[in-house]
Amino acid sequence: MRLRGIRRSTNVEDRRGRRGGMRGIPIGGAGGIGLGGLLLILAIGFFTDIDLTPYVSGNGGTAGAYLDEDLSPDEEQAADFTLRVLATTEDVWDRVLQEQAGMPYDPPVLVLFSGVTQSPCGGASGATGPFYCPADRKAYLDLDFFATLARRLGAKGDFAAAYVVAHEVAHHIQNEIGILSQIDLARRQMSEREANALTVRLELQADCLAGVWASHVEGLLEPGDVAEAMNAAEMIGDDRLQRQAGRVPRPDTFTHGTSAQRAGWFGRGYDSGQMGACDTFAADTL
């Protein structure tokens, strides 16, 4: 993605540099899980909405304790990239939301954190992954997961990381137009199976809206960028992640959609460039 000359968004709250330690399985040493095992645990939690951080510890750390750390050049580079991507979402949705929905765009704040943090929607950790909290209209992101995407899940490339940012911003779009509150109310009156099915449609719509964003930054795209995003969508499908975790895929437990569905809806948004193409709730089949 060509981001040279693109401004950095100022809609950011930087909480990095303070990492939380937690009791649990030691990392390294006798009986430790090793870095590879740690990354796999974090990846599974990241994409299945299961918080596995109670089972991971850093050198015998104590729950709730923090250790201040200096930010590495790689971390600063990842933050710079993320804020430039965020700026492109602001520019695109400022125009598209007005043109296609007749609404002004009020962008979200992106919270960058390391390890653990708090939000009005509950505690957040690296294992729970990026998420959007409608209560404070903020998206939360631990930048370490860009490395997890590439190394453990096979979702390589800068546009794969950009897709993650665009997906969380898409949840903010859903909040802006009132979809999140409607879905939250509906889920409270459903069985778990029905609520999961509705959540899948919500997540696939966010994938589609991320595709709409991608279609409107074509001047910034490099060869292979869209393929990177499509591959990332496939790598984080519920079916694939459950298989990777050694489980038989159970559609009734899916909350984000299959690999094919995620890539398909991103592609639909990209090909059309239209928010109206992203009505997953009216679709007979996903």
What is the full per-residue pLDDT of the chain (286 aa) written as tens digits? 999 999 999 999 999 875 544 333 333 343 443 444 444 444 444 444 444 443 333 333 333 334 446 777 888 888 999 999 999 999 999 999 999 999 999 999 999 998 889 999 988 776 667 899 999 999 999 988 787 777 777 788 889 999 999 999 999 999 999 999 999 999 999 999 999 999 999 999 999 999 999 999 988 999 999 999 999 999 899 999 999 889 999 999 999 999 999 999 999 999 999 999 999 999 999 9
pLDDT of residue 147: 78
Do the Cβ atoms of 208 and 277 come closer than 8 Å?
A: yes
Regarding beta strands 131-133 and 122-125, do their DSSP bridges make them parallel or antiparallel, or are they unpaired? Answer: unpaired
Interior angle at CA 181, CA 141 and CA 47, nearest 5: 35
With a CB cutoff of 8 Å and minimum separation 6, the contacts of 162 are 1, 85, 225, 229
Q: What is the DSSP secondary-structure string of 31-54?
A: T--HHHHHHHHHHHHHHHT---GG
pLDDT of residue 239: 94
pLDDT of residue 75: 83
What b/e string do you get for 230-254 counting C-beta neighbours within 10 Å, with b at 16 or more?
A: bbbbbbbbbbbbbebbeeeeeeeeb
Q: What is the DSSP secondary-structure string of 104-140?
A: ---PPEEEEESSEEEETTEEEETTT-SEEETTTTEEE
Q: In terms of C-beta density within 10 A (0-12 exposed, 13-18 middle, 19 or more buried), how is residue 91 classed?
A: middle
Instruction: Please state, as a whole number, how many other Cβ atoms lie within 10 Å of the Cβ of residue 57.
Output: 20
Q: In terms of C-beta density within 10 A (0-12 exposed, 13-18 middle, 19 or more buried), how is residue 96 classed?
A: buried
Crossing angle of helices 192-215 and 259-272, rounded to 10° = 40
* Boundaries of every domain in the chain: 12-17+70-282
